[in-house]
């Protein structure tokens, strides 16, 4: 059975990788003109900026997941 910190760690890492991967694919497709980047435009932000923000959000979620893992591993040693 997994402990709660381990479950949160894995969930954040997988969710972050998933969001980053989808954003990278959509950015690549929009740069090659397979899809219109205006589809993702929101308010005054351009579509490419929204996709880039989603990619950064995915990276931050993954980093938080790895940080939680490191924090609880170091806490047990002390």
| pLDDT per position as a tens digit, 27-46 | 999 999 899 888 888 888 88
Please determine, for residue 51, whether its predicted confidence score (pLDDT) is greater than 80.
Answer: yes
Please determine, for residue 63, whether its predicted confidence score (pLDDT) is greater than 80.
Answer: yes
Query: pTM higher than 0.85 for the full model?
Result: no
Say how far apart CA 31 and CA 76 lie, in whole Å: 46
Please determine, for residue 1, whether its predicted confidence score (pLDDT) is greater than 80.
Answer: no
Look at residue 74 in the predicted model and tell me its pLDDT. Answer: 75
Reported as a pLDDT band with limits 50, 70 and 90, residue 4 is: confident
Domain boundaries of the chain, sorted by first residue? 14-77
């Amino acid at each position: 059975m997994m402990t709660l910190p381990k479950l949160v760690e894995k969930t954040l890492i997988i969710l972050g990788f998933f969001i980053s991967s989808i954003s990278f694919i959509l950015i690549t497709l929009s740069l090659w003109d397979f899809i219109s980047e205006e589809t993702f435009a929101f308010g005054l932000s351009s579509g490419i900026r929204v996709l880039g923000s989603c990619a950064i959000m995915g990276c931050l979620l993954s980093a938080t997941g790895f940080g939680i893992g490191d924090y609880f591993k170091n806490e047990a040693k002390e």
